[in-house]
Amino acid sequence: TEQTFIMIKPDGVQRGLIGEVISRFEKKGFYLRAMKLISVERSFAEKHYADLSSKPFFGGLVEYIVSGPVVAMVWEGKQVVSTGRKLVGATNPLAAEPGTIRGDFAVDIGRNVIHGSDSVENARKEIALWFPEGIAEWKSAQHSWIYEA
Ligand code: GTP
Ligand code: MG
């Protein structure tokens, strides 16, 4: 099954949305495989968002990500990369549908609470960047109540 990298950005941590975000992914039927609360260095944030380094908002984006601790997580489940993006919602929170995390909890694009990997390949790269120590395996006792055999 698939894994994705989800990060609660500094605004989400400051606003007390950690539990809300985790709860939505848990209730959907995805499994938390790794999690840590950390403050990252500028160079690390630049590496995470390297694909956007030519964008005019890149400096502000890096400032935002280093402005406080973030919660880095790995979630696992069927099509969790694309479905995780649906739970997260559109990049611009004012365009994000109600019922999505950004649609329910954010206003500005530069304060959009959460990151989710945009492809299986980028998820793999981001998980390797954020969790070089590796990820624990475990099986939820609920598994057969969520997933058909
Ligand atoms: P992430 O899950 O954080 O990667 O967001 P995304 O995949 O929905 O969008 P993208 O990767 O294109 O951009 C990364 C982040 O940069 C966004 O989540 C925003 O916080 C910020 N960003 C993207 N586009 C803009 C923009 O036009 N203006 C500003 N100020 N910030 C932007
Ligand atoms: Mg992105």
In this structure, how many other beta carbons lie within 10 angstroms of the beta carbon of residue 92? 14
pLDDT band at 137 (very low <50, low <70, confident <90, very high): confident
Structure tokens at 111: 């304060």
> pLDDT tens-digit profile of 75-96?
999 999 999 999 999 999 999 9
ipTM above 0.85, yes or no: yes
**Could you tell me if the CB of 81 is within 6 A of ligand 1?**
no
Give the ligand 1 atom nearest the CA of 118.
Answer: 7
- Report how far ligand 2's centroid is from the alpha carbon of 7 (Å): 11
What ranges in 49-136 are assigned the alpha helix state H?
58-65, 80-88, 101-105, 120-130
pLDDT at 149: 87
Answer for the pair 75, 4: CB distance below 8 angstroms, yes or no. yes
**Could you tell me if the CB of 116 is within 6 A of ligand 1?**
yes
Of the candidates 25, 14, 2, 41, the one whose C-alpha atom is nearest the C-alpha of residue 122 is 2
**Could you tell me if the CB of 123 is within 6 A of ligand 1?**
no
Query: CA 84 to CA 145: how far, in whole Å?
Result: 20
Burial letters for 56-86: b for 16+ Cβ neighbours within 10 Å, e otherwise? Answer: eebeebbebbbeebbbbbbbbbeebbebbbe
The answer to whether 85 is a known ligand-binding residue is yes
> pLDDT tens-digit profile of 92-122?
999 999 999 999 999 999 999 999 999 999 9
Closest ligand to the CA of 90: 1
